[in-house]
Amino acid sequence: MNKISLAVSIFSVLLTFNAYAENEVKTTPIEKEINIKEEPKSVDDTDKIEDKGQVFDNIDDRTLQLNKNTTDASTLTISSPFAQSSFVPDISLILDSSYAYRNITNNAFDGLITPSFRGKAGFPTNGFNLNYAELSLASTIDTYFDLMAVLPFSTSGVAIEEAFINSRSLPFNFQLKAGKFRSSFGRLNSQHEHSWDFTDAPLVYSAFFGGEQLNEKGVQINWLAPTDTYLLLGVEGLQGENEASFGTKGFEVGKNKFEEVNKPNLLVAFAKTSVDIENLTILGGLTFAGGGKRISESNDDKTKITDFDGSSKIYAGDLTFKYFFDSYRYLSLQSEYMYRSLNGINYSTKDNLSSDSEQSGLYSQLIWRFDQLWRTGVRFDMLNKNDIYENTVNINSPNNLMRYSAMLEYNPTEFSRIRLQYNHDRSKYADTNLQPVNEIFLQLNMAIGSHAAHAF
């Protein structure tokens, strides 16, 4: 049995178990009532008292019957507090597939680079794609913790995208999260792909964090301020394994040897707020991420060695305006800006060079939901700063790398989405030559089961 068949079998068993549990829950301790034994009926007397099909000679008999049935333990039907229906989590499956077309071949596109940026997102190939099937499990553990796990299946296997606990009752509005989770960095990072307004991530996210965004093992603690205006402050201690901006791998070049980092390597701090002005909601946030960067990019035969050890700092700000015309029509303007500073040394078998970089990027998108079932939008991406210095000399990497996107989306229900998107990408290079790329995506996103609500 291959991995996809196994995944389908597991999900089928979970759905069957969930359906059985939902049927059983109709007779759980909360909903099971006292099972009143039915008294024999008499039709001879004319002075009767009737109650749901039972007949009593007089009010005294009725009172005696009620007292008897509510005190006789043998007539009570109570299910076990350990009934399986009490422990079944919310289960959902989200299927994302697409048809993609580009003006270049898959091999040619795979060979393109974004100069001086290590991060690279996965991409749908030309033709039909099964992007992922995301299985989500979520439940309250007890009065202290919730647990959630997200397992994306693909044709190459299954992974643990997220698996974490959230505290429920810490004092003074504190909350704890621990496990593997998407960082609360910025506006978009904590959102899953199926809740994005576009098929792909903004350029700056892919360039700074790669295809999985900033998704790490660690712990987060946040505090909700007891104010009329929403204010959330938080810090995260993360392992820092993201190789696009951080990394923990050891390496050895000549006499230089660096061991793998086996401790938390990344600190994230964030502040998020929002305010409502009649029909307008304004959301904003500031984020900092800082940690060590240790990465080995040497190829197998050691003919090309580029190993780096240093530090990385990222500063980000986001701002969203969302205006509601009525209960479902709205206009949303969302923007984020990120700045990254890398400082360290590039090691090679020949010599070691000091390496410093200042890079930044932004995106801005406008989304219009003009009908209950329809949305459309445009997005502008740019990596505007790309200054790389080796031994204080600027190597003149290209700046102002841009991409333009437009999408039209139809949502028959809250469980299904059909999206058409076009990209004109001017951020990719073949060696030193700019290679414009035109992309068209037809995306289908379908959901079944019980899935938690997305962030506003």
Q: Rounded to an integer, what distance in angstroms lies between the CA atom of residue 54 and that of residue 42?
A: 9
Token digits of residue 69: 């049935």
Mean residue pLDDT of the chain comes to 84
Other beta carbons within 10 Å of 49: 13
> Per residue in 399-428, pLDDT tens?
999 999 999 999 999 999 999 999 999 999
Buried b (16+ CB within 10 A) or exposed e, 370-391: eeeeebebebbbbbebbebeee
Q: Which has more pLDDT, 209 or 52? A: 209
- Both tokens of residue 323? 């205006």
pLDDT for 11-59, tens place per residue?
A: 555 555 555 545 544 444 434 433 434 444 444 444 444 444 455 555 5
End-to-end CA distance of the chain: 41
Q: Tell me the per-residue pLDDT of 47-101, one tens digit each, with 9 for 90 and over.
A: 444 444 455 555 565 556 555 555 454 444 555 555 666 678 999 999 999 999 9
User: How far is 189 from 384, CA to CA, in rounded Å?
Assistant: 20
DSSP for 122-144, written as a single string:
--PPSEEEEEEEEEEEEEE-SSS
Beta bridge partners of 49: 56
Q: What is the pLDDT of residues 230-271, one digit of tens each?
A: 999 999 999 999 999 999 888 888 777 888 888 899 999 999
The predicted pLDDT at position 29 comes to 41
Q: CA-to-CA distance for 77 and 308, rounded, in angstroms?
A: 69
Residues in the chain: 456
Q: Which CATH superfamily is domain 90-449 in?
A: Porin (2.40.160.10)
pLDDT (0 to 100) of residue 282: 97
What are the structure tokens assigned to 137, written together? 């499990």
Is pTM beyond 0.85? Reply is no
List of E strands, 10-53: 49-51
Model confidence band, residue 318 (pLDDT cutoffs 50, 70, 90): very high
- The residue among 227, 209, 211 whose CA lies nearest residue 272 is 227
Calculate mean pLDDT across residues 148-171. 95
Report the alpha-carbon distance of residue 164 to residue 155 in Å, rounded.
25
| Helix-, strand-, coil-residue percentages of the chain, each rounded to 5 | 15, 50, 35
What are the structural domain ranges in the chain? 3-75, 90-449
Q: How many whole angstroms separate alpha carbon 368 and alpha carbon 326? A: 13
- Alpha-carbon distance of 184 to 164, in angstroms, equals 14
121 burial level (CB within 10 Å; 0-12, 13-18, 19+): middle
pLDDT for the residue numbered 47: 44
Average pLDDT of the residues in 339-353? 87
Give the CA distances from residue 302 to residues 254, 298, 314, in Å, rounded to whole numbers and listed in that order: 11, 6, 31
Higher local confidence (pLDDT), 388 or 24:
388
How far is Cα 368 from Cα 328, in angstroms, rounded to an integer? 11
Please write the tens of the pLDDT for every residue from 113-128.
999 887 777 778 999 9
Of the candidate ranges 31-40, 229-238, 272-281, 314-323, the one whose mean pLDDT is the lowest: 31-40
pLDDT at 78: 52
DSSP state of 5: H
Question: Which of 85-99, 169-183, 199-213 is the least confident region?
Answer: 85-99
